Amino acid sequence: MYAIEATGLYKRYGEVIAVNGIDLAVKQGEIFGMLGPNGAGKTTTTEMLVGLRQPDAGVVKILSMDPKKEGAAIKARIGVQLQTSALFNHLTVRETLVLMASFFPRCRPVDELLNLVDLQEKANVQTRHLSGGQQQRLQVALAMVNDGDLLFLDEPTTGLDPQARRRLWDIIEKMREEGKTVFLTTHYMEEAEKLCDRVAVIDHGQIIALGSPDELIAAHFGETAIELPAFSGLDDHMLAQLAGVSHIQRQNSQVTLYSTAVPATVGALLELAQKLGVSLENLMIRRATLEDVFLKLTGRRIRE
């Protein structure tokens, strides 16, 4: 059973191809992430899936229903949080939830929602007085107002401070416990790694990698990353010669060596540094992440 099935999704705006042939199959109960930089086509994909935009080509099925024929039935069973959508400024949190609930045939009790997103104390505050994180939690509560089976969250944590982001992660974890299917987009790789069962890495409107975070890392890296400052005086040629180094990436102020044999590589590196009298401060050895996957696939970092 798939909650979302899409094949050959395609959308262009004038000269710009926003989404260039995307296939998706999101299982029920799964938290599925779409990870990519700004402008990769995440929002356009989301808006086509929820029925706010018509794809130029491609087929979509949501909860096994056809949006063209059963649009209203689908809308009653999905919850949507849009990246750019604003609220009625002068309504209180509770009034906003009650209003949104009235659009649906079935809905969750407002107090339960307030509890879920931890906004009980702000229930009677006008939305314009909420902080960014509180507004975002309200948006997520609005997406859950109809107790839908499938939730679309478009960059739910963008622009939030780390603490506010963690609180939203907790809410999304609760959705998992409730057995909801969640489709979320993000450009934070740690968010995708922490929350998502599976991740589609998207760039220039195409999926360039798909799998669980661990699978993706394992598939693209048998290696471990060794980071050192770019200004260390060691050039790429020397570094590439070191034992165990499979390839290197130079990014702004930082060089990353990907090594299949960390002890050998580090030993050789220290030897080289000593010989040339180079300081190796800020040397760091870490496991490869989705960021490395993206870097390897596109030659760019997700956020630049």
Partner 1 sequence: MKAYLLLVLANIREFSRDLMTLFWFLAFPLIFILLFGAIFSGNGDLEFQVGLAVEDQGPAAAGIAEAMKAVPIFQITQGDREAMLAALKEGKLRAVIVLPEDLSAAMMVGQRVDLPVYYDAAQQTSREIVLSVMKDMTAELDRRLTGRPQLIGIQAEPIQAGRKMRDIDYLLPGILSMSLMQLGLFGTFNFVSMRQRKVFKRFGATPLPKWTLLAAEITVRLMIAVIQTLVIVFVGRLVFDVQMVGNWAVLIALVMLGATVFVSMGYMIAGFAKTEDGVQGIIQTVQFPMMFLSGIFFPVEFMPAFLRPVMTAMPLSYLGDLLRQEMVGASAMHSLAVNLGVLGGFTLVSLALAVRFFRWE
Residue 88 carries which side chain, given as an amino acid letter? Answer: F
Identify residues 64-123 at the interface with partner 1 (CB under 8 A): 72, 75-76, 78, 80, 82, 84-91, 95, 98-100, 102-105
| Piece in contact with partner 1 (CB under 8 A), picked from 24-32, 45-53, 173-181, 232-240 | 45-53
Q: Measured from the CB atom, is 73 or 238 closer to partner 1?
A: 73
> Strand pairing partners for 202?
207
Nearer of residues 93 and 269 to partner 1, judged by Cβ: 93
Cα gap 34→26, rounded to integer Å: 11
Amino acid at 100: M
Judged by CB under 8 A, the residue of 3, 50, 172, 226 near partner 1 is: 50
Nearest distance, CB of residue 50 and partner 1, angstroms: 5
Residue 20's SS3 state is: strand
Note whether 10 binds partner 1 by CB under 8 A: no
Question: How far is the CA of 46 from the CAs of 22, 59, 158, in angstroms?
Answer: 12, 14, 16
> Minimum distance from CB of 66 to partner 1 (Å)?
16
CB of 143 to partner 1, least distance (A): 9
56 vs 95, which CB is nearer to partner 1? 95
Side chain identity at residue 261, one-letter code: A
Strand, coil or helix: what is 29?
Answer: coil
- Please report the sign of the dihedral spanned by the C-alpha atoms of residue 46, residue 51, residue 54, residue 55: positive
Strand ranges across the sheet with 254-259: 245-251, 254-259, 224-229, 284-287
CB nearer to partner 1: give 46 or 265: 46
Q: Which residues of 153-170 are buried (b: 16+ CB within 10 A; e: fewer)?
A: bbbbbbebeeebbebbbe
Compute the least distance from the CB of residue 178 to partner 1, in Å: 20
Q: From the CB of residue 129, how many other CB atoms can be counted at a distance below 10 Å? A: 12
Judge whether 97 and 114 are in contact, CB under 8 Å: yes
Kindly compute the dihedral angle of the four CA atoms of residues 117, 122, 126, 129, in this order, to the nearest 10 degrees. Answer: -90
Minimum distance, C-beta of residue 98 to partner 1, in the bound complex (Å)? 7
- We find the least distance from the C-beta atom of residue 80 to partner 1, in angstroms, to be 4
183 closest CA partner among 101, 80, 72, 75: 80
Q: Pick from 22, 142, 151, 269 the residue near partner 1 by CB under 8 A.
A: 142
- Site for partner 1 contains 163 (CB under 8 A): no
Pick between residue 143 and residue 216 the one whose CB is nearest to partner 1: 143
Q: Does 126 bind partner 1 (CB under 8 A)?
A: yes
Classify residue 92 by its DSSP letter.
B
CB nearer to partner 1: give 29 or 51: 51
Q: Binding to partner 1 by residue 125, rule CB under 8 A?
A: no
Q: Are 294 and 301 in contact (CB under 8 A)?
A: yes
Count of residues touching partner 1 (by CB under 8 A): 28
The yes or no reply on residue 158 touching partner 1 (CB under 8 A) is no
Q: Contact residues for partner 1 (CB under 8 A)?
A: 50-52, 72, 75-76, 78, 80, 82, 84-91, 95, 98-100, 102-105, 126, 142, 146
